[in-house]
Structure 1
Amino acid sequence: MDFGYFHEEESEQFAFYRIPQVLFKDEKFAKLSTDAKVLYGLFLNRVSLSKKNHWIDDEGRVYVYYTLVSIQEDLHCASQKALKLLKELESYGLIERVKQGLCKPDRIYVKNFILLQESPVRSGENHHTGVVKITSPECRESPPNNTELNNTECSNTNLILSKSREDERELYRQYLYQSLDIEILKEHYPYGVEEIDEIFDIILDVLCSNQKFITISGDKKPINVVKSRFMKLDSSHIQFVMDSMKDKTTKVRNVKKYIVAALYNAPITINNYYQSLVQHDMATGKI
């Protein structure tokens, strides 16, 4: 490969992952493998997205979802290597995995080790830890210190913190693919794979929407209300939408709007729907 050279500010076109300098400079982490340090940086990337999506437990702690398959894809490694790196981070107390039950991804807490170190000044002045979290005005006032932080590093801090909408969608995709049992649904409905994929994509579209409102059956609903309802969906609700579409006798003019409305109403209408089917079958002597 023959790559070009950087000119002037072209380096700022990239998005960056954050890896705290202290992981490389502090003796406590000297034996932590470089791959594990990189993985910790990938975890920090997901912490930022989790905060944005309000993935916070009852104690106010941010958690992330990062499946083994996703780690393998991101680091281009085998499952054994990915597991080894997870255990390595756990052994250093940098992450904590919490099992959530069968077919559900682990809830992972990324530990903030910097809280254990002395940090007399919080405004961004005189950093001695090697972890940079500075706003631009403070950055220009900071004197040189042992991190060898210069103006170029400082001006790029905000770029490092930036995240793309593709990252957000991928985060949702990885979590929901497992929590909604999409693979199992496809096995049960081999002739409905395309329909399942369509419904799944619509769920992702809603959760990643930046609109303030969304129209459900003619009514404008705050997007946060709709997202909250969608995060409570499970595989039975997708089955319900598929069944209701199959049973619908009238033509649906806007399939996407119909599916969005059906998914939104699924948690509160699913029981009545199947109960009415049972009553109908009993009345007609089918059961």
Structure 2
Amino acid sequence: MEAQVREEFRERLEIDTLAQRYDPDKLEELLDNIVEMYCCPRQTQYVGKQPQTTKAIRLRLDKLTSQHIEYIFDVMSNTTQPIKNIMAYLRTTILNAPTTMEHYYQAQGNWLTAQSRKE
């Protein structure tokens, strides 16, 4: 099952295309985390210290697109605070990407607009 899930996410998320712009090793790490969360045999997993049902996690992961992967890389590259548990941070970012991406970019746009008005 894992191999099939990996291949489905690789195609849907356009990993091979994204590898032209992003570090292929980091993309594989991201894909590894997605597949591990998706294929987890337990009914409940902890993501960001919060219990989540594996069913709910799968539903959220099924919404991921290549744009979400780009967003995840953007968030990771703009993180300036030290991260104590990178796996927990990354998994939380992956899981929340479908519900936070639009708000993140809107907030960035609002900030840039405000900065340009000051000048």
TM-score, normalising length: structure 1: 0.39
1:1-287 mapped onto 2 (5 Å cutoff): 168-189=1-22, 192-285=23-116
More helix by percentage: 2
Which whole-Å CA distance do the structure 2 matches of 1:270 and 1:280 have between them?
Answer: 16
Greater than 2 Å deviation, 4+ residue runs: none
Which whole-Å CA distance do the structure 1 matches of 2:83 and 2:41 have between them?
Answer: 26
Which whole-Å CA distance do the structure 2 matches of 1:276 and 1:195 have between them?
Answer: 26
How many correspondences in the alignment?
Answer: 117
SS at match of 2:45: strand
Give the superposition deviation at 1:188. 2.3
Letter in 2 for 1:169: E
SS at match of 2:63: coil
Q: Report Cα offsets for 1:248-284 as digits up to 9, x if no partner.
A: 1111111111111111111111001011111111222
Identity level (%): 24
Which whole-Å CA distance do the structure 1 matches of 2:3 and 2:48 have between them?
Answer: 28
| Gapped regions of structure 1 (runs ≥ 5) | 1-167
TM-score, normalising length: structure 2: 0.91
Give the superposition deviation at 1:194. 1.7
Higher gyration radius (CA): 1
Query: Aligned Cα RMSD in Å?
Result: 1.4
